Amino acid sequence: MFEEIKRLLIECANVDDQNIKPSAKLKDDLGIDSLYAVELILELETSFEIQMTWEDIQDLKTVQDVVDLVEAKLKEKK
């Protein structure tokens, strides 16, 4: 799952792949601003066929938070 999220970060936000680690902070370490965040969320929803709410995404701070959220949403689908 991490590799898929990493690929989306590279594609959506032009993030350098060497900087993407589970502990990397989306804003501080990867420079993902609100515009990139919206694009990333839309891409995650499309790629994984999931729906996210504002409550789901407001506390996302790290790459691992994104991975955990996507995994949780995929489990809810089953």
- Report the distance separating Cα 60 and Cα 56, nearest Å: 8
Whole-number pLDDT of residue 12: 85
With respect to residue 63, please indicate whether it lies within any of the assigned structural domains. Answer: yes
Q: What is the CATH classification number for the domain harbouring 18?
A: 1.10.1200.10
With respect to residue 9, please indicate whether it lies within any of the assigned structural domains. Answer: yes
Whole-number pLDDT of residue 42: 93
- Report the distance separating Cα 9 and Cα 24, nearest Å: 12
What total number of domains does the chain contain? 1
Q: Which of 28, 33, 56, 65 is catalytic?
A: 33
Q: Which domain holds residue 16?
A: 2-72
Which of the residues in the chain have pLDDT under 50? Answer: none
pLDDT digits (tens, 9 = 90+) for 28-39: 999 998 888 889
Calculate the CA dihedral of residues 61, 62, 67, 71 and round it to 10 degrees: -30
With respect to residue 78, please indicate whether it lies within any of the assigned structural domains. Answer: no
For the chain, helix, strand, coil in percent to 5 are 65, 5, 35
Q: Is 68 a catalytic residue?
A: no
The reported pTM is 0.92
With respect to residue 77, please indicate whether it lies within any of the assigned structural domains. Answer: no
